[in-house]
Structure 1
Amino acid sequence: MSTDDKNRAIAAAILPLVGGAGNITSVAHCMTRLRLGLRDRSLVRDEALKALPSVMGVVEDDTYQIVLGPGTVARVTPEFEALVAEAPKPAASADELAAQGAALKEARKAKNATPFKLFLRKIANIFVPLIPALIGCGIIAGLNGLLVNLGWLPGVTPALAAIASGFMALIAVFVGYNTAKEFGGTPILGGAVAAIIVYAGVAKIEVFGQALSPGQGGVLGALGAAVLAVYVEKWCRRWVPESLDVLVTPTLTVLVSGLVTVFGLMFVAGEVSQAIGDFANWLLENAGAGAGLLLGGLFLPLVMLGLHQALIPIHTTLIEQQGYTVLLPILAMAGAGQVGAAMAVYLKLPRNGSIRRTIKSALPAGFLGVGEPLIYGVSLPLGRPFVTACVGGAAGGAFVGLFSMLGDKVGSTAIGPSGWALFPLLDGNKGLGATIAIYAGGLLVGYLVGFVATYFWGFSRELIEEFDVDTDAGAGTAPVAAGNTPPPAVGTPEPEPAKV
């Protein structure tokens, strides 16, 4: 029997003795124990479990813990999870059936996803959990900068600076942890390898004739280091004897991937990170208006295709390097164009109560940068208004980009929010007042151009005839133009929303 067959046999022997797949709510493992969340503790057959040759004992705590020993548990757990996932599920309640339907929809989307999109989804899963900390620390940094400029609370501002900067100083560790988790490795080992990048002692190491700098390579280096650690760990799990696994696997994982990180990845990732920052600055300084036009105009289509996730590491790299990302305020103009387009649709369809109610309920969220209800419930189903919304975003992006060419950079200290919600996170090189004024001007341009473009060019005569009808007299929902993508329930966003 091969090692894989042996581990699967152990998992298969355990599963019925803990009540079957339907009794399992969670599966995890520590160094020696398989930890299970159970629906009904009374279904577990303790004595039969203890009698299994592979089981060293059981422990009952907040989870039900089956002691399998070091090495073995790391190999049995994935097999156990697979058996739980493959097992038929019991009859579900109405709510569970609805949840299953949503899951099936997501499964269909996943089936049609390309490898590139799946990779981008992994990247998003690594960085999205960091956004709350980026937002919180970004706002605190902005508040601290304001207090410093005003000369207020000099005894408090150093503490605020430490609070705002602590997370960014160690962001590589969090990226490494999440990367290993997302790619199927042990998260803490990914964090341990990534921690090398921010360790002050790397300054004593020379690579290619240059001394390394703590933090060199940043989040990109941490990402690469953690991915390498996952592959080393998986190799070790396959070839290292189970009796030595607990000692050898973590040691080799950290040592091998750590040496590669120090003598290769940090230097390469540092060069790439620097190139990203230099290119972003060069682009906005020399072609800001044109770059803003393209970025602001194309961001909504990128969101629809899921390709906007590729920008997350770039934003994070710029924030890590410069303290803010100069790209996000430009991309946020796409949401302004969407809001302007929605207001024009409201006026152009005075008889369509369904669409008008959707717009009225979704506009407040749209102003705050949450554009999905307007996109999926209004502009995208109509077709042409989606295009004119992109025109508004392009105009707002060109406005902000133009000022970058003139030397007034507008940036965001965090990613996630846009619209009016981005104001507390704004930063730039010419003072907060100028930065806020430029960003606000871009929003106004986006609103205005999105409105005008949609009002005058967003509707054909046929579209008006089809949609400007009294929907309240019928089913209460708007018809869908032929050839256009049908919306979900009016005002309801699709899964995996993207803030624009």
Structure 2
Amino acid sequence: MSNYKETAQQVIDNIGGKGNVNNAWHCVTRLRFNLNDKNKANLDAIKKIPGVMGAQFSGDQFQVIIGNTVGDVFEEVEGIVGGGSGNGPQNSDEGIVSKIFDVISGIFTPVVPALAGTGLLKGFLALAVILGVSAESPTYLLLYGLSDAVLYFFPFLLAVSAAEKFKTSKYLAMAIAGGMMYPTYHAAAQAAFAAKLGGEAAPTVWKIFGAVPVPLVTYSSSVIPIIFAVLLLKYVNNWVKKWMPKSLNLMFTPMVALLIVFPIAMVIIGPAGTYAGNFVGDGIAWLFKVAGPLAGVVLGATFPLLVITGMHYSLLPIALTNLAKNGYENMIGPVNAVTNVAQSGAAFAVALRSKNANMKQIALSSGISASIGITEPAMYGVNLKLRRPFYAALAGGGIAGGFAIFMNTRSFGGGGMPGFLSIPAYINADDRMNVIWFIVALLISWVLSFIFTLILGFEDEVDQPVTAPAEASEPVEAGEKHRIFSPMNGQLVELKTVPDETFASELVGKGVAIQASDENVYSPVSGTVMMFPESKHAIGFLGDNGVEVLVHIGIDTVELGGEGFDLDLTQGQRVEKGQLLGKVDYNLIKEKGLSTVTMVIVTNTPNYFDVSPAQQDGVIFKEEEIIHII
């Protein structure tokens, strides 16, 4: 838990602090933020945070890619920013399309786990019926009610997430959803629909306030009506608050707001939203019907590109509308599943072919995650990084997407995470081949991506050579080139007291900390410079005896981008013990509000029997031995 808290705190610190967070939420693998000032986000620093796989802006959103532990990290983020809600207006110059994608993502992302869990349950219940379980048994009926409840009462879930996104009352939003779903009205709407299908006379027209006719529309499983109703609620509620006397605000503001919003929702917004949703869904269905498998190929080959930008959530309303209208979804869901599995196949090919032990491990674990629908670890950590495996996954997913559409594979539930775990959602007692063709599509995607990756190949990462450790309990050879000396004059500080948990807990390695007394920095060993970033705040040395030493000047000084660091070094440069490397303006670092303590760390500590400070405290001078190695 401490690691999650540390990751969360560093992320918040590097996006400008909690005061810069207007809104925060998360999806399956990413932290998502709306920031008041996007210029305060330090992308380079965030990408280097332990536990972070990547970071990017997508329209109004700032996304931090975490992977499978995003839920744990977000719990800590919520604790820091206070529930993930706003701290002021957003300053955004993004276009309307980006704003729409941002709103859709913010509303639908929080409800995905509920859809996934109940959709998977519905698939297993269908399998149970095929295996002989009675559909009339109390156990089945209770569990089926649970599996169907989320989609049936979907307006309630969307009311909550939309209210959080639009920053209005969640309880008033649910009250509107309750009015739209109330049994009396719902029964009348169903009766009107049944009469229309049977060619019977339309039922008596409902009128609100005795004058305005109310269209009888079924809002069960609907998407668009409640979202726009909540958006209207935000503005009406704020308007009423402005003129309502404070003494009457608690009771009368909600009542007046509901009396304004609900009739508009039932007369205008609800019917219009329902018809618009059906129109869009029918349009997409027509496109797939006309283009057929070609539409599946195009969507399958481009779906991962939507995932990279986070825009894939914009397709969720279309899928849910079709599922609610038809009882199944045969376009977005199947293609999404095969493209996820494609990332898995490519990653497994990398795990087989790579000679880099670390890459093998990452590719194998992320390949397993991608097979069950969590693709970002494989996509960012392996396939995109090596490039050609990503191209192979696009090709494999495109071909499998075309096959899935050609065979008209249909999802009958939320489906869990799109991938192998979503198979139960494709089980149907009336069409037992449906799930078979879906499994075949998944296998086509995985196998083709695997083969294409092997054919295309990739530039493997080469393992860094590691010098064999010294014999246990034997000191390293005598001689100055085999010892670690102080890189500066100053005062020794206990490493565990430095205000950076990564160093204090010795996650990077064992060593010492120094508070410098002057601006000069010297080489602590004789060897080569193996790491020197553009920010110049840290130097990595490889000693002649294989000892790897990191000199990290200050904490969070990467934010300065090299300002205040007058160090002239290049990677691969030869240095000698005690060589003057340059100067550091510690006063500037203090003025920026950052710590000036310097950490001297043996980063390959596990190679040795023991690494310990030569002395615990006191004044230290350059070229004085500071670390003992056994």
Distance across 2 between alignment mates of 1:473 and 1:282? 60
Task: Find out whether 1:282 has 2:191 as its counterpart.
Answer: no
CA separation of 1:368 and 1:106: change in aligned 2, threshold 3 A: farther
Map of 1:89-100 to 2, 5 A cutoff? 98-100=7-9
Q: Deviations over 1:389-408 (max 9, x none)?
A: 1111111111101112xxxx
Conserved 8 A contact 1:185-1:230 = yes
CA distance in 1, matches of 2:370, 2:179: 42
Following the alignment from structure 1 to structure 2, what is the Cα–Cα distance between the partners of residues 222 and 289? 34
- Partner of 1:331, secondary structure, is helix
Secondary structure in structure 2 of the residue aligned to 1:410: coil
Aligned residues: CA RMSD: 3.0
Offset of residue 316 of structure 1? 2.5
Corresponding residue of 1:365: 369
Q: Is this contact kept in 2: 1:177–1:191, CA < 8 A?
A: yes
Q: Is 1:393 aligned with 2:375? A: no
Query: Please, what TM-score do these two structures have when normalized by structure 1?
Result: 0.67
Q: Is the 8 A contact 1:217 1:268 kept in 2?
A: no
Structure 1 letter corresponding to 2:361? R
Shift of 1:374: 1.2
Change (3 A) 1:337 1:420: same
Superposition map of 1:92-491 within 5 A: 98-106=7-15, 110=35, 111=38, 112=57, 113-114=59-60, 115=94, 116-117=97-98, 119-149=100-130, 152-153=133-134, 154-156=136-138, 157-202=140-185, 203=188, 205=206, 211-215=215-219, 218-326=222-330, 327-349=332-354, 351-404=355-408, 409-414=409-414, 416-427=416-427, 431=431, 433-459=432-458, 464=459, 467=460, 469-471=462-464, 473=466
**Higher alpha-carbon deviation: 140-149 or 177-186:** 140-149
TM-aligned CA distance change 1:382 to 1:263, over 3 Å: same
Mapped partners of 1:364, 1:468: distance in 2: 21
- What SS does the aligned partner of 2:411 have? strand
> Does the aligned pair in 2 maintain the 1:334–1:390 contact within 8 Å?
yes
Question: Is the Cα–Cα contact under 8 Å of residues 341 and 372 in structure 2 kept in the other structure?
Answer: no
| 1:290-322, Cα deviation, whole Å (9 max, x unpaired) | 111111111111111111121222233233223
C-alpha distance in 2 between matches for 1:370 and 1:95: 19
- The structure-2 alpha-carbon separation of the partners of 1:442 and 1:96, relative to structure 1 and needing over 3 Å to count, comes to closer
Listed as ranges, the gaps of 5+ residues in structure 2 are 21-32, 39-56, 61-93, 189-204, 468-529, 531-630
Going from structure 1 to structure 2, the CA distance change for 1:217 and 1:426 (only over 3 Å counts) comes to closer
Determine the C-alpha separation between the residues in 2 that align with 1:124 and 1:198: 24
Instruction: State the distance in 2 between where 1:416 and 1:103 align.
Output: 31
Q: How far off is 1:178 after superposition?
A: 2.2
Q: Paired residue for 2:66?
A: none
The 3-state SS of whatever aligns with 1:218 is coil
In the TM superposition, what is the alpha-carbon distance from 1:268 to its structure 2 partner? Answer: 0.7
Structure 2 contact 109–313 (Cα < 8 Å) conserved: no
Following the alignment from structure 1 to structure 2, what is the Cα–Cα distance between the partners of residues 248 and 98? 44
Q: Which has the higher strand share?
A: 2
Q: Structure 1 vs Structure 2: percent identity of aligned residues?
A: 27
1:62 aligns with: none
| Partner amino acid, structure 2, of 1:422 | S
Greater helix proportion: 1
**TM-score of the superposition, structure 2-length normalised?**
0.54
The size of the alignment, in residue pairs, is: 371
Describe the superposition over 1:64-116 as per-residue Cα deviations: whole angstroms up to 9, x where unpaired.
xxxxxxxxxxxxxxxxxxxxxxxxxxxxx998665332124456984254345
129 and 244 in structure 1: CA distance in 2 versus 1, 3 angstrom threshold: same
Q: Secondary structure at the match of 1:370?
A: coil
- Give 1:281 deviation, angstroms: 3.1
**Deviation, structure 1 residue 262:** 0.9
Compared CA separation, residues 105 and 389, structure 1 to 2 (3 A): farther
Amino acid aligned to 1:423: I
- Per-residue displacement from partner, 1:358-409 (whole Å, max 9, x unpaired)? 11232222222222221111111112321221111111111101112xxxx3
Aligned residue type for 1:324: Y
**Structure of higher RCO (CA pairs closer than 8 Å, 6+ residues apart):** 1
Letter in structure 1 aligned against 2:263: L
Q: 154-163 vs 288-297, which deviates more?
A: 154-163
